[in-house]
Structure 1
């Protein structure tokens, strides 16, 4: 989606290889099985839009050496050499990688969007994170992270979580749409999606003053300092307008142009009326004079 929109530059990080089970990932193709995912993605995306610039890195960002390189690329891998990237998009499938991204972005003060699709394949979410201003991934971690549970113990060997390209496309659409709206639209800080209930919860989470991530606490302090230095906007008191009261008697009188004699001598049968209903009859000549229609 980013490539078709004409994004300037994409840096792709992944250490996995393409398998036939990945064919629902939209741009992977059967003949690419065995290739690294970043290489396969780059080949497909270059054919879609050759004007987009790509850099691919086939490694695990959670290892010590690779993490440092990953953080360097965030700071210096922008469209212009030596400039930071505009945004980091997390599309990973494990909490260890999410925590690595969170740590790197907190350390360098980089905004990012976390996203995910649940293992039941019919729900997902995106979360826009601005270090210091919003809750980071460590401020309110999932239970599996908070309890230091090893993710590997939660998965059965040889069994993959359910996945649907439709759910992935919906969540990816939210992710890319929010990416393009950052500069000129109102971006939601958290948006969920549940296909079974057609449910789209939205919320904003403030940072946790007792977050375990020290860099998050540092960014929070910086943000509060910026807020304190901003000029205060004085509230403008709006005086309540006096209510206009109209006089009850406007001196307007309605006068009928049909005399009582003309009304009594009018032609035509008079129907039986329901009690309380009055009908005025007008002769053709009189109707002509006042421009009325006969009913």
Structure 2
């Protein structure tokens, strides 16, 4: 499929998605004083078939059948007000309100990407950049998010329309093209490095929710070159397992450091797909993977909990393996090797902390009861019960050693032969 790239309008460049308001026939009026916290631009409201007037005090608009509050009447709170009890984190996780200050790019708005975008929108993310070139099909209805009446629309266009209805306070920037082409790759890198919440600054995180290795390698190449932190996700073809992975260029392994066999063998993955056969798809597995992905995103951006570098999911055994992978010094991506060298320099420049060895406190050395702790095993016995320590690599120790076997040192006792028969000896014993 050939992706088309059209020139964005000024409205789209600001993240307002002008094409959506044109389709709905909405007249949108934004007040310049209705800017939101966190350095974002004016709030953009949208109501289909009606005029939406933004209120300078709250940034909320009025829809059909609604009237603006009169003098003395309380104003409505914004949909994404984190202080509301019915909002995500409202009244409990107050740091969640900082999520407004972040911009996240999502590549691939399919089974995992669309649910990820919805979760971040409901959390009140500051800005979302969506990249995809595919269209919504009726075959996608076994997944979450998309609806049958959106069939035929581009996924980014349908997603923006739905997400803007959920939370109009989020800024959206959508791009309907294939990032793997040469011309689109340059524009993709430009938006990653300049499409942050404040124009000209990079996004805070890139999320890969694609379903092919070519797109993953493209994202990996771009992020290694820019030094951009990103998270990769995926669901297996049998739809019963998935994973997420945090990739920090230079610090953790990139996608090319330990590539899958298809990538390492330079096999065209299109030749592996059988015609007329589609990979299995379960909304349950995709929902779980999207959930742990967004949870990791929140922990990373808001700096709480333990951020997983790799977290897998096996639905057959309810198994969640986790691990971390160091970068490969012989990685095929030269930008990855460059990022590794820069990371080593940053670590070497940090002030070294000397480990202070604390002396163990001796218990019961001197007490009013005269109690002493005496080992029941002497040093000689302890030495005899231990064996030689083998030569092991650095960092590996033995829990115990096996003592060497000692030959019995009992002297042999010999008896002289008296020449008497067994019967004579038996007779002597009876006479005793």
Q: Same fold (TM over 0.5)?
A: yes
Question: Which position in structure 1 is the counterpart of 2:303?
Answer: 184
Q: What secondary structure, in the 3-state scheme, does the structure 2 residue paired with 1:162 have?
A: coil
Secondary structure, counterpart of 2:142 in structure 1: coil
| 1-structure distance, mates of 2:319, 2:193 | 37
Deviation at 1:247, TM superposition (A): 6.1
| 3-state SS, counterpart of residue 207 of structure 2 | strand
Cα 1:249–1:63 change in 2 (3 A) is: closer
Q: Secondary structure at the match of 2:202?
A: coil
Cα distance in 2 for residues equivalent to 1:154 and 1:44? 35
Question: Which 4+ stretches in 1 moved above 2 angstroms?
Answer: 245-250
What corresponds to 2:180 in structure 1? 62
- 1:103 pairs, out of 221, 232, 244, with 221
**What is the match of residue 313 of structure 2?**
193
For residues 81 and 25 of structure 1, the distance between their equivalents in structure 2, rounded to whole angstroms, comes to: 34
Who is 1:238 aligned against? 358
Following the alignment from structure 2 to structure 1, what is the Cα–Cα distance between the partners of residues 242 and 194? 31
Cα deviation code 1:60-105 (max 9, x no counterpart): 0000000010000000000111110000000000000000000000
**2:292: which partner in 1?**
174
State the TM-score, normalizing by the size of structure 2. Answer: 0.57
- Matches of 2:216 and 2:370, distance apart in 1: 74
Instruction: Calculate the aligned-residue CA RMSD, in Å.
Output: 1.2
What do residues 32-63 of structure 1 show as CA deviations (whole Å, max 9, x unaligned)? Answer: 11111110111111111111110110000000
Distance in structure 2 (CA, Å) of the matches to 1:229 and 1:7 = 34
Residue in 2 that maps onto 1:290: none
What is the rounded CA distance, in whole Å, between the counterparts of 1:45 and 1:157 in structure 2? Answer: 34
Equivalence for 1:28:
146
TM-score under structure 1 length normalisation: 0.83
Aligned residues: 250
SS at match of 2:254: coil
**Gaps in structure 2 of 5+ consecutive residues:** 1-118, 372-432
The higher relative CO (CA closer than 8 Å, separation ≥ 6) is in 1
Contact residue 143 and residue 281 of structure 2 kept, 8 A: no
**Cα offset for 1:148?**
0.6
Residue in structure 2 matching 1:217, options 313, 316, 337:
337
CA distance in 2, matches of 1:104, 1:44: 29
What are the residue-to-residue correspondences of 1:137-156 with 2, within 5 Å? 137-156=255-274
**1:226 partnered with 2:342:** no
- What is the Cα deviation at residue 237 of structure 1? 1.4
Counterpart CA distance in 1 for 2:288 and 2:121 is 17
